[in-house]
Chain A
Amino acid sequence: MPMDRVLRHPVLDVPGPGPTVEFTFDGRPITARPSEPISSALIANGIHIFGRHERDGAPQGIFCANGQCAQCLVVVDGRPVKACLTPVRPGMVVRSTVGYPELAPDDAPVSLVPRVDEVRTEVLIVGGGPAGLEAARELAARELDVTICDDKPTLGGKLSLQTHNFFGSVADCHAGDRGQAIGELLAAEVAALPTVEIWTESPVVGVFDGGVVGVVRRGRFTAVRPKVLLVAAGAREKALAFPGADLPGVYGAGAFQTLVNRDLVLPSRRLFIVGAGNVGLIVAYQALQAGVDVVAVVEMLPEVGGYKVHRDKLLRLGVPVYTSHTVLRAEGREHVERVIAARVDPKFHPIPGSEVAFDVDTVLVAVGLSPVNELFEEARRIGLRAYAAGDAREIAEASAAIFSGRIVARTILKDLGFPDTVPEAWRQRALELSAHPGPVLGVYPVPAERRVYPLLRCEQEIPCNPCTEVCPLDSITILEGNLLGRPKLVGDCSGCLKCVAVCPGLAITLVDRRVDPTGARARVTVPWEMPEEWVHPGEVVPTSGREGEPVGEARVVRILAGRALHHRRLLVLDVPASEADRVAGVRVRDPVPPRPVPGAPPVRDDEVVLCRCERVTRASVIEYLRATGTRDMNAVKAGLRSGMGPCGGRTCGELILRVFRELGIEPGSVTPGVPRPFTQEVPITAFLSEENDGRGR
């Protein structure tokens, strides 16, 4: 299949050529992998435009890749469906949606009756990510009947999309392992529990009168009556509004991870990332792993919001991170072709004359996450006993979500009258794990007079300890005695490389000065997670220092690999002895300076689409708010239809609140939109069954 697919990956298992499925899109034959989503099959075939919007013909493509919006709507065999949720089937006829989809005039009378399966459970958990899974495990320990619902085919939540090694503690949250592996591990543990029922491909779509929770269980509407609802539905990405943000090729980091890391398609060749929090930095790294060039990461704030180690590993590879910069606009005729960015002043206003252009095909927006907690709020309002855990409660790392799930589960048990308590150590650990990146404190000095030693470039408080756990000589310790402190080498080093292989921040190298009796050369071993073909033994490669500064050149002596190395390869480099302590990585790309385009046209409000579903611009929102003086999101919705689309205002809601604020209206004084079922659109057939199947009521 000579297509836009990930064919090699340093971490993920890439299946070899296997069976294929043929279908057509607007008459064109398409070859797909069996049961992959239509959207991924189309993108793998270079098709990024799935339809055109009814209102203005704007091209529509993938946006959330998560079933939350409806931008990827296509018509399959006469039925409008979301391409990102619908697996390909041999021979299916897929058409692009131009304007509103037509209902096929399929008028044969049907005998379908109302259908609701009613199910009771003690605890219904929404979301099978780290928080939900860990909560299930705790609850099952008391033999409670637990049902976990997840809209995806497999459990693990967003862990399943993560190829990087996680921070945290080795002893109690699998630190040092890759996200995907942690997800599989947690899911397998829960799958083995006899009192836990797992419903995959089963989105929870609303909370109804009397505390009934509506689940579309594999296409069938099901009424669940839980004693307790635990919402562990994770987070959604915040949107950013700028001209061109509605073009195909602009989407969230999560959508990119879904396409690349789950479906192994390559939607991009040249990527631009907005936001240098942990999500933006990590997805940049993951993009490189898949072979996508990351042209730049921009961050509005003067410092990156994510961990310094995540930034530094990008800088070392040669990816520029521009702080105090923002995206002005994305340009392109039917798809992103370039991005204009600019420096911002201390008040975050773009500085005229500082505009620069980057030629890219894709822009990822990674400007923060919001809890998915609507079901929790609604359940509380209705009077159902409800709890939230993980990101749905507080945005933090997956390791923190693991503890959040355990703690909330214990709280539920206590509230149900079980003699359980939340151990104080858990609370402590949860606090540590959810700590935000702290100040950069610098590294401990290089040990003098040593011939072989690790350099621990861990210079910021990070809740992480794998290096201290793997050292066979117990030579690495955290003096502060908690997870957050910086590791220090306090004993001998045998040069075993375990710490280099495990450090999730890729912040450890091993210097070995024993090999060259003349003392002119040294060996430096650095962790390496990039595509295999980028570096070969014997090759001379440019080296980078801790923060990406060029150091010199090194010869690749050999490449170590193996299970014991956490699927990570290690490059053994031969470097001048004088550079050995400075070499922290290998540069793979030369940062191309951006093209200055001073005097780029200023952003007009009527170019900025806030509500993508209904194509509502910033200009019309401003005009509406000024004309009506309203303080009610429901009125904006009524007047402009913003939030009336398939996503229910989940994308534009915060953007519109921001406009309120800009007009001097405190968002807290604005009446929020009234949430209503369904949290995502439901095919009408989910509510019906054949008259004679004996399952309806």
Chain B
Amino acid sequence: MAADVDAIVIGAGSVGNPTAYFLAREGRRVLVLDELSASGQGQNKAAIGGVRATHSDPAKIRLGQESLEIFSHWKEETGTDIGWKPGGYCFPAYDETTESTLRTLLGVQHAYHLGIEWRDPAEIRRVVPGINPEGLRGGTYSPGDGQVNPLKAAESFTHEAVRRGAEYHYREKVTDLLVDDHTVRGVRTDRGEYRAPVVINTAGARGSQIARMAGLELPVAPESHEAGISAPVKEFLAPLVVDLRPGPEGKTANFYFGQDADQQVIFCYTPRPAVPGENRTSTFEFMPIAAARLVSLIPRLKNLTIRRVWRGLYPMTPDGSPIVGWAPDVKGLLLGIGLCGQGFMLGPGVGRTLAALASGTRPILDPDVLATLSPSRDFYRGTKESLR
């Protein structure tokens, strides 16, 4: 049976939308399927929107650089403002452990020519006005990083993809992958069947369920994180700030926050221990802990008003790296899942990579780097990346 389209993308989210956009831009016929009723309604809208290249893992650095490139030029390219704010990232250090972690990372980061430097306390205080100076030892600052509004980005990628011929079907749930002879032929949904030589699984937190339809067991398991946002205040904070210290309350690892393009302070922490599962109902504990961490870092935030809180899922892999590449044993099935909570910031880079793989052009990642993201890799080999 003839193919209906060149590629089917499952999931109109942080990864699926850029994938569809790049495919459509290359003239491919794309069908995007999502069970929800609009684009970016899964975990995309739960992201706080930080985008950085200053990771410590080569693949993520490269994907982050690519994403930054795409996000930062998006307005010139399309005329649409997606809330790009080039304020950089700042990792302040208040203890020796943090300082040594950050300084060690600088080595790797400089090897990749990332624009990140160690700054002394006075400089950090300039970058982060009002930051608590007590015990501040300095920190890293990477002015090339920034923030984007995830809601606007999802919408704009979708709009640009559609403009170039991509078709989006919402409220349509993929119920099976059509596989025969170890080759994917298309998908079955609750409304019908579609044929395509390439099927791309970008289903985020549902990614491993989709993979299972082709008999693939991939170690992607969601963890639940919480976030919050304030009422807007006059612009005062340019970078996203990441505090790597564990929280004094004993329930959190790192804490990060920034002021977005709409001038709202947006914040999030990594719970410790991790909270496995798909629970998306906010807890009453989140806000008190986040509040204490906010005001301890920037005391003037004690005058802030909190508008809303929410909860989103980090689809985790055992080694903390995404799964990007062709599925083993099933021809034509591409995977872009397990982004470990960085689906939004790495999404455009991953999308471009997936589009290149699908159309047989040269991907942006070198083969050895791409291999570190392979679905066939040993997920339990090394240690986790230190700068998640």
Where the two chains meet, the residues of A that have a C-beta atom closer than 8 Å to any C-beta of B are: 54, 70, 78-80, 99-116, 206, 208-210, 212, 214, 221, 223, 382, 627-628, 630-632, 634-635, 637-639, 641, 646, 648, 671, 676-678, 681-685, 687-688
Q: Which residues of B contact A113 (CB under 8 A)?
A: 248-249, 292
Smallest beta-carbon distance A619→chain B, Å: 18
> Told that A631-B170, A683-B304 touch, could you supply 4 new A-B pairs with CB distance under 8 A?
A103-B233, A111-B296, A632-B170, A688-B291
Q: How far is the CA of A521 from the CA of B300 in the complex (A)?
A: 77
> In the bound complex, do residue A638 and residue B45 qualify as a contact, i.e. CB atoms below 8 Å apart?
yes
> In the bound complex, do residue A209 and residue B152 qualify as a contact, i.e. CB atoms below 8 Å apart?
no
Smallest beta-carbon distance B35→chain A, Å: 12
Q: How far is the CA of A39 from the CA of B61 in the complex (A)?
A: 52
Q: Which residues of A contact B307 (CB under 8 A)?
A: 646, 678, 681
> In the bound complex, do residue A684 and residue B294 qualify as a contact, i.e. CB atoms below 8 Å apart?
yes
Smallest beta-carbon distance B32→chain A, Å: 14
> In the bound complex, do residue B305 and residue A635 qualify as a contact, i.e. CB atoms below 8 Å apart?
no
> In the bound complex, do residue A112 and residue B295 qualify as a contact, i.e. CB atoms below 8 Å apart?
yes
Q: Which residues of B contact A676 (CB under 8 A)?
A: 282, 308-310
Q: Which residues of B contact A206 (CB under 8 A)?
A: 282, 284, 309
Q: List 8 A-B contacts (CB under 8 A).
A: A103-B304, A209-B283, A223-B284, A635-B39, A638-B45, A671-B38, A681-B231, A688-B295
Contact digits for B300-335, partner A, Cβ 8 Å, 1 yes 0 no: 111111111110000000000000000000000000
Does B281 interact with chain A (Cβ within 8 Å)? yes
> In the bound complex, do residue A116 and residue B306 qualify as a contact, i.e. CB atoms below 8 Å apart?
no
> In the bound complex, do residue B295 and residue A116 qualify as a contact, i.e. CB atoms below 8 Å apart?
no
> In the bound complex, do residue B304 and residue A684 qualify as a contact, i.e. CB atoms below 8 Å apart?
yes
Q: How far is the CA of A676 from the CA of B312 in the complex (A)?
A: 12
Tell me the nearest residue of chain A to B303, going by C-beta: A79
Q: Which residues of B contact A208 (CB under 8 A)?
A: 281-284
Stretch in B52-60, B129-137, B184-192, B201-209 touching the partner:
B129-137
Contact digits for B226-242, partner A, Cβ 8 Å, 1 yes 0 no: 00001111111000000
Which of A109, A634, A684, A688 sits near B41, CB closer than 8 Å?
Answer: A634
Does B155 interact with chain A (Cβ within 8 Å)? yes
Q: How far is the CA of A110 from the CA of B294 in the complex (A)?
A: 11
- Max chain B Cβ within 10 angstroms of own Cβ: one of A54, A635, A678, A685: A635
> In the bound complex, do residue B37 and residue A104 qualify as a contact, i.e. CB atoms below 8 Å apart?
no
Q: How far is the CA of A631 from the CA of B307 in the complex (A)?
A: 26
Tell me the nearest residue of chain A to B152, going by C-beta: A638
Q: How far is the CA of A209 from the CA of B292 in the complex (A)?
A: 21
- Max chain A Cβ within 10 angstroms of own Cβ: one of B152, B295, B305, B310: B305
Q: How far is the CA of A99 from the CA of B263 in the complex (A)?
A: 11
Which of B39, B45, B249, B303 sits near A114, CB closer than 8 Å?
Answer: B249
Q: How far is the CA of A209 from the CA of B285 in the complex (A)?
A: 10
Q: How far is the CA of A100 from the CA of B248 in the complex (A)?
A: 32
Smallest beta-carbon distance A641→chain B, Å: 8
Q: How far is the CA of A112 from the CA of B296 in the complex (A)?
A: 7
Q: Which residues of A contact B263 (CB under 8 A)?
A: 54, 100
> In the bound complex, do residue B305 and residue A683 qualify as a contact, i.e. CB atoms below 8 Å apart?
yes
Q: How far is the CA of A637 from the CA of B39 in the complex (A)?
A: 12
Does B288 interact with chain A (Cβ within 8 Å)? yes
Smallest beta-carbon distance B82→chain A, Å: 11
> In the bound complex, do residue A635 and residue B288 qualify as a contact, i.e. CB atoms below 8 Å apart?
no
Q: How far is the CA of A54 from the CA of B282 in the complex (A)?
A: 30
Q: How far is the CA of A212 from the CA of B281 in the complex (A)?
A: 11
Q: Which residues of B contact A102 (CB under 8 A)?
A: 233-234, 236
> In the bound complex, do residue A639 and residue B155 qualify as a contact, i.e. CB atoms below 8 Å apart?
yes
Q: Which residues of B contact A210 (CB under 8 A)?
A: 283
Known: A112-B292, A113-B249. A632 touches B304 (CB 8 A): no
Contact digits for B119-157, partner A, Cβ 8 Å, 1 yes 0 no: 000000000011011100000000000000001101100
Q: How far is the CA of A209 from the CA of B284 in the complex (A)?
A: 7
Q: How far is the CA of A648 from the CA of B262 in the complex (A)?
A: 16
Q: How far is the CA of A632 from the CA of B308 in the complex (A)?
A: 20
Smallest beta-carbon distance B170→chain A, Å: 7
Q: How far is the CA of A213 from the CA of B230 in the complex (A)?
A: 20
**Which 10 pairs, one residue from A and one from B, show the smallest C-beta to C-beta distance?**
A114-B288, A635-B38, A638-B151, A632-B38, A687-B291, A632-B37, A687-B288, A102-B234, A208-B284, A671-B37
Known: A208-B284, A212-B284. A110 touches B295 (CB 8 A): yes
Smallest beta-carbon distance A391→chain B, Å: 25
Q: How far is the CA of A688 from the CA of B296 in the complex (A)?
A: 11
Known: A116-B285, A221-B288, A671-B37. A103 touches B236 (CB 8 A): yes
Smallest beta-carbon distance A668→chain B, Å: 13
Smallest beta-carbon distance A636→chain B, Å: 9
Q: Which residues of A contact B39 (CB under 8 A)?
A: 635
> In the bound complex, do residue A80 and residue B231 qualify as a contact, i.e. CB atoms below 8 Å apart?
yes
Smallest beta-carbon distance A109→chain B, Å: 5
- Max chain A Cβ within 10 angstroms of own Cβ: one of B41, B129, B248, B284: B284
> In the bound complex, do residue B296 and residue A80 qualify as a contact, i.e. CB atoms below 8 Å apart?
no
- Max chain A Cβ within 10 angstroms of own Cβ: one of B155, B159, B289: B155
Tell me the nearest residue of chain A to B154, going by C-beta: A638
- Max chain B Cβ within 10 angstroms of own Cβ: one of A112, A116, A212, A631: A112
Smallest beta-carbon distance B324→chain A, Å: 26
Does B78 interact with chain A (Cβ within 8 Å)? no
> In the bound complex, do residue A103 and residue B299 qualify as a contact, i.e. CB atoms below 8 Å apart?
no
Q: How far is the CA of A684 from the CA of B302 in the complex (A)?
A: 6
> In the bound complex, do residue A688 and residue B288 qualify as a contact, i.e. CB atoms below 8 Å apart?
yes
Tell me the nearest residue of chain A to B285, going by C-beta: A116
Does B5 interact with chain A (Cβ within 8 Å)? no
Q: How far is the CA of A209 from the CA of B133 in the complex (A)?
A: 36
Does B351 interact with chain A (Cβ within 8 Å)? no
Known: A116-B288, A638-B155. A677 touches B294 (CB 8 A): no
Does B357 interact with chain A (Cβ within 8 Å)? no
Q: Which residues of A contact B306 (CB under 8 A)?
A: 678, 681-684, 687
> In the bound complex, do residue B155 and residue A687 qualify as a contact, i.e. CB atoms below 8 Å apart?
no
Q: Which residues of A contact B284 (CB under 8 A)?
A: 116, 206, 208-209, 212, 214, 221, 223
Q: Which residues of A contact B279 (CB under 8 A)?
A: 209
Does B40 interact with chain A (Cβ within 8 Å)? yes
Does B213 interact with chain A (Cβ within 8 Å)? no
Tell me the nearest residue of chain A to B224, going by C-beta: A209
Which of B40, B155, B230, B234 sits near A99, CB closer than 8 Å?
Answer: B234
Smallest beta-carbon distance A374→chain B, Å: 13
Q: How far is the CA of A107 from the CA of B129 in the complex (A)?
A: 9
Give residues 164-197 of B contacting A (CB, 8 Å).
170-171
Which of A109, A212, A627, A630 sits near B38, CB closer than 8 Å?
Answer: A630
